[in-house]
Structure 1
């Protein structure tokens, strides 16, 4: 049965059991698609958003590039090896944010219960929606159509009765697709799904599960709660319930940003403190500009250092009151940097993050790291 054909079943089940109606919207190859939209010469070609330099990283890849195995977070040199014709374009975050605002305005026509995960994806709870539309699939179709009409971009959508399944569903028919997982389908769908495709199960956890003989949702469901708690700690109950298609997490419209950070990878390793201090300054300026524009004030500063051999360390300091000026952020960052030196190996990456915001206005957690 197709996705649209089962929509009524979702709604009837939701009405009879009190289940939520959740939509997960995920823009298709968002950064790369914006670049292809704005530059017709890039359309139909393999595009990577990011830096082509030796130590650059792919921030996003078009579907044409993905056919060659190019993926986000892949080193640029690897991406170029996989796809010699790959075209690199620098990121334009102002453009992506502007489109994101258009998309979220479309979401807001249907529900105030919007939980952004990043610039290009969000959960929507449409159980009680503003237009009184009884079928969640209809809302998802309306949103996708309006996004296409107003932005000339495509979005994929997943519809289900909880966040976990809606997230999985949105990836089933990408790009430009829609998929529905009904309450009746949920447990069986999860049972057949490889745990590596579970949202919330990263590569390291999937490897650990594999060593324990857990390869699918069915394998995970066969484990006791006590066993999963023993092996996976606080995450154990989450794995126990999602293996049964159960996820009671609400869509949180008031989700607060936990930290704001910026980082950069250098073309050549840095050894002396003054060179590193010079590279730290633009990161501080970027973090502070973001915080100042949104009246965000934090108390904890964290310095991240990655060395040439990929060893990574962090140094943090929490002060008594909120940091109120860029120079104060620079001072604390400088103190943390002094703790790292002298170094015996080169520094390839540097990052600075501010957190511990305390009481502040709600700010969607759109992007946890502002990468240069």
Structure 2
């Protein structure tokens, strides 16, 4: 029988800040920007004692805790610690699936059998290694499948170890409220309660299967099996590959100022290009997002002729999409993304053996960029699009701002 661990870094962003700044130990901290619209990304366990939680508005959290410490996010720090975390876990087993920036599934069967140790001992080794190297606590769920492992890791935090197996899963999960079942969201919960499904145990009953089919549709059997301790999904290594590179920004105040909005697209395009280049990722699909209210947003994408991570191409395409999508409404957020990214080495292009490869590659990219800009200017009469680099008064300042944002 396979032994699956689900490993979850506890209050990751807050814990990362505390690890970097030990003077924050014991203080109630939240991760978000100081703004009237800020929503809390992560709350430390000390802050949670006051009833503060993620997705809570900052102003509300400050009403609950007058001495709350607000820290802006430092994404470069989180990405660095996240990669170190996955590297530590992979030293125990290469059969790892990244679930998010702070959690993963790992098949520990071979390690446990080879070392001839108990699963709890292996979990303790991982916890100790993670805390020793990055000073962050983690909770670990141990089970014969991914679903039960995920449920187990949520049961004891921080620094907990929980085992769920075929003998105790009924005792461990059947009494839990249905909203605590992994995969059951806020919209599905009231629908289930309306038909009498209050707990995971209710969902597991055979006589309720026909009731849940209209709610879960084609996934009804999947949820029914999981409620009964069964999950046949495998560790998915493909999930470890980044599928898109995108950035967005929320305005301090809603705006319909097109010059201001285009400036945001310019900055976002620069950031997306830099991130993609650092990872040697390219794409031929570029999209933008316009958000009007919390509930209303629009997105549009364009497939271009060549794979790229070029700043100017991303920016020019984003502007074209904006011009075709925007109708003058007030906006609160804009975003830019490269979708379905691939690694540069996976691009298969025929290059003539008679060409000087380096010169031709540069010339080819330059010509394509010029062609795209020319086509955009023809398609948008009255709008002048030029190379983004010529619009920048101080490229170093933008790079510095980018680095400061991600520190």
Report the TM range for the smaller structure's normalisation.
0.7 to 0.9
Aligned residues: 346
Shift of residue 359, structure 1, vs aligned partner = 7.5
Change in CA separation of 1:168 and 1:276 when aligned onto 2, cut-off 3 Å: same
The runs of 5 or more residues in structure 1 that have no matched partner are 1-18, 363-369
Show the 5 A alignment for 1:129-144.
129=111, 132-134=114-116, 135-144=118-127
Give, in whole Å, the separation in 2 of the partners of 1:283 and 1:55.
20
Q: TM-score, normalised by structure 2?
A: 0.79
Q: 1:272 aligns to what? A: 257
Shift of residue 358, structure 1, vs aligned partner = 5.9
- Cα deviation per residue 1:39-79 (whole Å; 9 max; x = unaligned)? 23322111011102111222211111111222223222232
Q: 2:64 aligns to what? A: 82
Shift of residue 267, structure 1, vs aligned partner = 0.7
Give, in whole Å, the separation in 1 of the partners of 2:345 and 2:43.
34
Question: Is 1:293 aligned to residue 278 of structure 2?
Answer: yes
Question: Is 1:177 aligned to residue 160 of structure 2?
Answer: yes
Give, in whole Å, the separation in 2 of the partners of 1:215 and 1:318.
46
Question: Is 1:156 aligned to residue 139 of structure 2?
Answer: yes
Give, in whole Å, the separation in 2 of the partners of 1:30 and 1:38.
12
Shift of residue 270, structure 1, vs aligned partner = 0.9
Show the 5 A alignment for 1:1-372.
19-129=1-111, 132-134=114-116, 135-222=118-205, 227-255=211-239, 256-308=241-293, 310-344=295-329, 346-357=330-341
Give, in whole Å, the separation in 2 of the partners of 1:136 and 1:105.
20
Where 1:298 maps in the other structure, the secondary structure is strand
Shift of residue 141, structure 1, vs aligned partner = 0.9
Where 1:322 maps in the other structure, the secondary structure is strand
Larger RCO: 1 or 2 (CA < 8 Å, sep 6+): 1
Give, in whole Å, the separation in 1 of the partners of 2:160 and 2:204.
29
Give, in whole Å, the separation in 2 of the partners of 1:191 and 1:87.
38
- Cα deviation per residue 1:18-54 (whole Å; 9 max; x = unaligned)? x210111111111111212322332211101110211
Q: TM-score, normalised by structure 1?
A: 0.85
Greater Cα radius of gyration, structure 1 or 2: 2
- Cα deviation per residue 1:273-300 (whole Å; 9 max; x = unaligned)? 1111111222222222221111222232
Shift of residue 340, structure 1, vs aligned partner = 3.1
Give, in whole Å, the separation in 2 of the partners of 1:103 and 1:183.
29
- Cα deviation per residue 1:79-101 (whole Å; 9 max; x = unaligned)? 22332221111212222222223
Shift of residue 130, structure 1, vs aligned partner = 8.0
Give, in whole Å, the separation in 1 of the partners of 2:208 and 2:294.
40
Give, in whole Å, the separation in 1 of the partners of 2:84 and 2:229.
33
The runs of 5 or more residues in structure 2 that have no matched partner are 347-404
**Please, what is the CA RMSD of the aligned residues?**
2.4
